[in-house]
Homo-oligomer: A and B are copies of this chain.
Amino acid sequence: MTHSDSVIQALEPVQVWDRFERRFDGPAEGNPFQEVTFYAEFCHGNRIVEAEGFYDGDGVYKLRFMPDAEGVWTYVTRSSSPQLDGMQGSFQAVAAQGDNHGPVVVKDAYRFEFADGTPYLPFGTTLYHWVHHENVAEEEETLSELAKASFNKVRMCVLPTGDMHSRQLAFAGSRTEGADVTRFNPAFFAHFEARIMDLQRLGIEADIILFHPYDQGVWGFEQLEPETEDLYLRYVIARLSSFRNVWWSLANEFDFNKYKSMENWDRVCQVVKRFDPYGHLLSIHNGTKMYDYTRTATYDYSKPWITHQSVQHWDSGLMTEWIATHKKPVVLDECCYEGNAARRWGNVPGEELVSRFWDSMVQGGYAAHGEVVNEKSWISRGGKLYGESPERIAFMRSLMEEALPDLWNPPEERACFWEYLGINRPASWELDLPETKEYYIDVVDTWNMKTERLDGTYRGSCTIPLPRQSYLALRAVAAGQ
C-alpha cells in the first residue's frame, strides 16, 4: 500500500453538525474492542480535533465526526494496528440547512441554545428503556406519539435493567451466559443509533443515560471495574458523540448505586469530558434529594465538567435557589410522574405535573414529563400516552415559544412578565410592572388551556382581579408588542 492509497476522498459534502463517517477494514482477531486503539486527528485550518473511531465487528472499523465549521476538514488516522494507521482523507463541510441548528449548548445560568444561536427551551419526557424491550411495533408507536406530542428531549438509557430479558445488549453476551464486558454488541448500537436519528428527525434531543442503579446484580453493570467503565464510555462516545442531538447523563439516580464512590463519578464524568470531541451537554441525575440540610450535595453541579443541573426533586419551588447556587441551567428531569403507580414517584395528578412545569419555567428553569397510567409505563417502554399532562405541556410550550426570544432572556431583561399562581387562589393579585409602559394582562388558565386578555392596559403597581381557581398564570405583555 502506498501513501496515496491511504488517502480517501470524501465524495459528498457534509453539513456542519451532521455526521461524517468512514469505514475501514482492520484486524478481526483477538478482541479488537479492547486491543486496537484507533483515532483520527481532524484538521480545519490550524485547528486539530481528535476523535476516536470504533470497532463495528467483522473486521470493520468506523470513524465518525461532527464538523462544527464550514470548509475543508482533513484527517489522519492513528492506530496500534498498522492496517488502520496513517489513513488520510478530507471532506467538505457546508452550511447547516433546514432544521439543523447544531447541538444544544449552555448560554448562561438560565438559557440553552442551539449552536447556531437558536433558542432551545427543553420540554422533556422520560423513556428510559424504550429501545430495550425488543418490540419494534411499540418503538414505532412511541415515535408516533412523540411526533404528535410536543416533547423535545427524551431521557433514555444505554443499559437495560436487571429484570429485562433483553437479547439486545450494549455488551456482548447473553442473559444465560452473562455479559462479556470486554466486548460490545454492534447490532445493539446500530439499532440505538437509528432511534437517535428518529428522534433527531422529530426535533428531539436524546439525553443518553450512561449508567443507572437498576441492575439488581444481574449483569454487574453497577460494579464495573474502572478500566471497563472507561472502555464502555469511550466506545459509546466514539459511536454516539457525532450525533448532534446527544446529551450525556452520566447516570440516573447515581447515588442509589452502592458500589461507586463520588470520586468514581467524578472520574467517569471526566472521561466523558476528555473523550467527547464536541463538549456535548453533560450532567448527572440524583436519586435522593438534591441536597439535604447538612449540605451534602448529592452531586456538586459546580464541578467544571458539569454543563447543567439535571435534578430530581418534588419541589419546583426551589428552582430559583438551584440556579442561584450553581449558576447553571436547571432541568428538573424528575419531579414525580403523572399516573397511578403504587410508588410515590409515579402517581401525581396531571394538574400537579403541569403545575411543576409552569412553576419551574417562570423561575427560569425547566421541568420534564413522565407517566405511568394503569400500569402502562411510558417512562420505561413508551407506547401510548394516556395522561392528561402532555396536552397541557404542549399548550405551555406553544405559549413559551411564542414569547421567544423575550422569555429566553434572563428574568431581569424580559419585556413580557410571567407570574404563575399554582394551587393558590387569590381573589386578586398585585403586579409590579414598570411605570414606563402600558401592559396587556392575559390570564392563562393553564389547565383548561385558555388565555383571556383583560380589558384595558396596566402599568406600575396594579391589582389584577382573578377568577377563583387554581393553576392560573398571568402574562403581562407590553402594549404594542
- A residues with a Cβ closer than 8 A to B are 291-295, 314-315, 317-318, 321-322, 325, 336, 340-344, 346-349, 352, 374-375, 423-430, 463, 468, 470
- Which residues of chain B are near A430, meaning CB under 8 Å? 342
**Inter-subunit contact B317/A317 (CB<8 Å):** no
Inter-chain CA distance A90–B295, complex, in Å, is: 55
**Inter-subunit contact B427/A340 (CB<8 Å):** yes
| Among candidates B295, B424, B425, residue contacting A293 with C-beta atoms closer than 8 Å | B295
Inter-chain CA distance A294–B352, complex, in Å, is: 28
**Inter-subunit contact B428/A342 (CB<8 Å):** yes
Q: Can you give 27 contacting A-B residue pairs, CB < 8 Å?
A: A292-B321, A293-B321, A294-B325, A295-B295, A336-B424, A340-B425, A340-B426, A341-B426, A341-B427, A342-B426, A342-B427, A342-B428, A342-B429, A342-B463, A344-B424, A346-B426, A347-B424, A347-B425, A347-B426, A347-B427, A348-B423, A348-B424, A348-B425, A349-B423, A349-B425, A374-B427, A375-B427
Inter-chain CA distance A362–B424, complex, in Å, is: 24
Given contacts A291-B293, A317-B314, contact A340 B468 (CB under 8 A): yes
- Which residue of B is nearest A466, CB measured? B340
Min CB–CB distance A358 → chain B (angstroms): 15
Min CB–CB distance A318 → chain B (angstroms): 8
Inter-chain CA distance A32–B294, complex, in Å, is: 49
Inter-chain CA distance A171–B318, complex, in Å, is: 42
- Which residues of chain B are near A325, meaning CB under 8 Å? 293-294
- Which residue of B is nearest A290, CB measured? B293
- Which residues of chain B are near A295, meaning CB under 8 Å? 293, 295
- Which residue of B is nearest A345, CB measured? B424
- Which residue of B is nearest A469, CB measured? B349
- Which residues of chain B are near A322, meaning CB under 8 Å? 293
